[in-house]
Structure 1
Amino acid sequence: MLDKITIEGFKSIDRIELELKNLTVLVGMNSSGKSTVIQSLLLAVQNLSNNNASPLNGLLVSLGDFQEARNYIKNSKEINISMANLESGNTINLKISEKNGKVKLSKDVQDKSLNKLLRYQNKKIRYLSSERIGSRDIYEVNYNQITDIGFLGEYSIDYLEQYKSTVLDDCLIKNKEIGKTLESQVNYWLKYIINGEIKTDSIVGTDAVKASYKINNNTRYFRPKNVGAGLSYLISIIITLLSSRPGSMNIIENPEIHLHPRAQSRLMEFMAFISIAGIKLIVETHSDHIFNGIRKSIYKNELNIEDVATYYFDLNDDGTSNVNKVMFNEEGKVLNYLDGLFDQFDEDLDTLLGF
């Protein structure tokens, strides 16, 4: 399993080292390095999965030329990404540099199991971009052999249609009374988070499937465009995580998009449940409801603080990334509050109260 990543010389990052837990959450200011951590992982995945014409540009992420991607503030001559399996003590190291105008990549792969995890053809690692597919009348059938869900969640509806009768591992079944299948558990969480229900159908004679939704115990199903964007953005997360297997890893950008605060909090409960099942999550978010959902899950003993790593990003005076780990106690209280760490509500309230 991927337990630690070290990044050097990449965009705003001079050098940072992050320990990755079952649930790793990246929070903080805009343009402070959170997305760069995600891009580091995606660079590693696409360069371990394929021999790309350019080490910086591929299916998952395209960054342009070396001068755009390197840390120009520190005049970095190379980009280094190192990933470690702490159990084996082995690593995978990638170095990207430029010589005579040509970008070069060198790889040192010491850990075969970690290499297997990070090759997207093996479908043990999934990535959902913040640019996820929203409401559509129909969705494509997936004939793509590279990804089963799609990096935008574009094949999630087809995946549910194909595998809705699949019985899940016990660790992924929250409510056994309603059934043990993928479809039943998807609908359990969809109802809990946003009070919705989905059904899928193949469209005979086409390469398409359709989704229909019920909302608020309505007896009638509606097409996606008539139930709001939040539900369509949420469903790809639920399908992706419930169809993952213990030992796999998911990278999710901004899971809170288009969701009401209560839905965001309940989504965090779902992600905590998934991480407890042994599925590693790396989540980038700007939501205080996701953040407070972590605290609530710790307080309710649904998450062990040893299984959570939350990192707060801001910028140093020189414009490089500064990263602090947010520390929680057993009651979910933050032990090291940092300036800018979801404190805007308090500041606005003080203003309204005249303080």
Structure 2
Amino acid sequence: MIREISIENYKSIEKLKIELGRVTVFIGENGCGKTNILEGIALGSAAANDKLDNEFLTSRGMRVTEPEFMRSAFEQTNITKNIQVSFTLADGEVIKYNLQHPNQPYSSWENLDKLEKERQIQRVAKLIVQDKLNYSNQTISDVINGIIEVSTNNDDRYLLKKFLIFSPENSSLRIFDKEGQIQPLGIKGEGLFKLLTVLNRTEKKQKLQQIKDEMQLIDWFEDLDIPENLLPGERAIKIKDRYISPELNYFNQNSSNEGFLFLLFYFCLFISDDTPNFFSVDNIDASLNPRLCRRLIEELVHLAKNNSKQVIFTTHNPAILDGLDLNDDEQRIFVIYRNKLGHTKARRIFSPQPLEGQQPVKLSEAFLRGYIGGLPKNF
């Protein structure tokens, strides 16, 4: 797992450090910087893949703009400063990325730490060629590995490289006519049909059945199926409504409500072995009933633990908070806010302690009453 993230000089973030849980939820006002935090993580993930061109950043869910405004524009001098992102892994290893952009047309972000390591390796290689380093092959290998910091914790580094910001959209979930630039699921929900088709194979049917079981949260849902007689290029799933006469055919995703499609996407994302193990969902509450939101989060917490997923949610719906158990340290809530200087900050929320003789206040109620912050203050 990624234990801690640190971001400096990115958009509204001057300097920020957050200790993540397995399931972390960000709440706060519109424009307070919740998505900026996710983008900072995505930028570090892109650097880990050495893919910092705008097309790749956009496909990760980032809102790419002029490089000057990717930095914190609180002071004029900041628009040329580096963006720094670091991650602390489960074993305590810290991975840092120092990112610079020349603010010139057709230029890309560069990881300065990587460039420096490459220069060091080139210097070592040059000295070897000139016979100025009389080392054995093993010693030379140790020197180079020391420069590039080869890690034994490949699992957590792999987690970091796969990070995406998912913001599923109704059209992408319903039409099935696009495949995401990053597979198996694109940030808008592209690729859902193909993933369901893969899960429908014999060796993965258990996963598909688990998704069907989870979809019972929708009271009318009875079953779904992947047709075997589709025409070339045709993409459709068959959905069965328990209230419709058995003699009638299944309907497809075009006739389904969007809440159903969002749930189907989330359960595929959390249950499939092919989807990222570290990711975020921006506005998890989109198109969902408040009570369903609470129950969904309970299920996703359970699925995250069972399927080794780590996730960050953003939300404006208080009901999401009631699906969390803050007595479990792997479930965390942070109020994201902007201080008097406009800098994005984060404050962790712990389980509210009731006054003597009173019942505990639900997190949703505490949020709406303003007890934990995250609400607009200017009206």
Normalised-by-shorter TM-score class? 0.7 to 0.9
User: 1:206-217 to 2 correspondence within 5 Å?
Assistant: 206-217=232-243
Which residue does 1:164 correspond to in 2?
A: 200
Which residue does 1:322 correspond to in 2?
A: 345
What TM-score, normalized by structure 2, do the two folds share?
Answer: 0.73
Larger deviation: 78-87 or 326-335?
326-335
AA partner of residue 72 (structure 1): A
Coordinate RMSD, CA, aligned: 3.4
Percent identity, aligned pairs only, is 19
For the residue of structure 2 that corresponds to 1:188, the secondary structure is helix
Larger radius of gyration: 2
What TM-score, normalized by structure 1, do the two folds share?
Answer: 0.77
Q: 2:294, 2:48 → 1: CA distance?
A: 35
For the residue of structure 2 that corresponds to 1:40, the secondary structure is helix
User: 1:286-305 to 2 correspondence within 5 Å?
Assistant: 286-294=316-324, 298=325, 305=328
Q: 1:263 aligned to 2:278?
A: no
Q: 1:279 aligned to 2:334?
A: no
User: 1:214-225 to 2 correspondence within 5 Å?
Assistant: 214-218=240-244, 219=246, 220=248, 221-225=250-254
Contact 2:318 2:365 in 1 (8 A): no
Q: Structure 1 residue 330: deviation in Å?
A: 9.2
Residue of structure 2 aligned with 1:307, choices 330, 338, 342: 330
Which residue does 1:182 correspond to in 2?
A: 207
Q: Structure 1 residue 55: deviation in Å?
A: 9.8
AA partner of residue 151 (structure 1): I
Please, which runs of 5 or more residues in structure 1 have no aligned partner?
Answer: 169-179, 346-355
Contact 2:24 2:312 in 1 (8 A): yes
Contact 1:7 1:13 in 2 (8 A): yes
Q: 2:360, 2:99 → 1: CA distance?
A: 40
AA partner of residue 16 (structure 1): L
Q: 1:270, 1:95 → 2: CA distance?
A: 37
Q: 1:192 aligned to 2:221?
A: no
Q: 2:44, 2:288 → 1: CA distance?
A: 31
Alpha-carbon spacing, 1:100–1:67, altered in 2? closer, same or farther (3 Å): closer
For the residue of structure 1 that corresponds to 2:335, the secondary structure is strand
Residue of structure 2 aligned with 1:117, choices 153, 159, 162: 159
Count of paired positions = 319
Contact 2:185 2:195 in 1 (8 A): yes
Question: After superposition, what is the alpha-carbon deviation per residue over 1:238-289, rounded to whole angstroms, capped at 9, x for unaligned?
Answer: 1111114799223212222111122212211111111222321211111111
AA partner of residue 95 (structure 1): N
Question: After superposition, what is the alpha-carbon deviation per residue over 1:24-70, rounded to whole angstroms, capped at 9, x for unaligned?
Answer: 11111111111011111211222322433459944322422221111
Alpha-carbon spacing, 1:56–1:153, altered in 2? closer, same or farther (3 Å): closer
Alpha-carbon spacing, 1:266–1:45, altered in 2? closer, same or farther (3 Å): same
Of Structure 1 and Structure 2, the greater helix share is in: 2
Of Structure 1 and Structure 2, the greater strand share is in: 1
Q: 2:157, 2:337 → 1: CA distance?
A: 31
Question: After superposition, what is the alpha-carbon deviation per residue over 1:276-317, rounded to whole angstroms, capped at 9, x for unaligned?
Answer: 2232121111111111111xxx2xxxx752111211112112
Please, which runs of 5 or more residues in structure 2 have no aligned partner?
Answer: 115-147, 372-379
Alpha-carbon spacing, 1:24–1:217, altered in 2? closer, same or farther (3 Å): same
User: 1:69-218 to 2 correspondence within 5 Å?
Assistant: 69-74=70-75, 75-76=77-78, 77-87=81-91, 89-99=92-102, 101=104, 103-107=109-113, 110=149, 111=151, 113=154, 114-120=156-162, 125=163, 127-131=165-169, 133-134=171-172, 136=174, 139-140=176-177, 146-165=182-201, 181-193=206-218, 195-196=220-221, 197-202=223-228, 204-218=230-244
Q: 1:64, 1:246 → 2: CA distance?
A: 28
AA partner of residue 233 (structure 1): F
Q: 1:251 aligned to 2:269?
A: no
User: 1:227-238 to 2 correspondence within 5 Å?
Assistant: 227-238=256-267
Q: Structure 1 residue 157: deviation in Å?
A: 2.1
Question: After superposition, what is the alpha-carbon deviation per residue over 1:174-213, rounded to whole angstroms, capped at 9, x for unaligned?
Answer: xxxxxx7122111111112454232222553413420232
Contact 1:25 1:311 in 2 (8 A): yes
Q: Structure 1 residue 217: deviation in Å?
A: 4.1
Larger deviation: 242-251 or 57-66?
242-251
Alpha-carbon spacing, 1:284–1:129, altered in 2? closer, same or farther (3 Å): same
Q: 2:291, 2:365 → 1: CA distance?
A: 25
Q: 1:115, 1:231 → 2: CA distance?
A: 34
AA partner of residue 129 (structure 1): S
AA partner of residue 317 (structure 1): K
Alpha-carbon spacing, 1:194–1:290, altered in 2? closer, same or farther (3 Å): farther
AA partner of residue 241 (structure 2): I
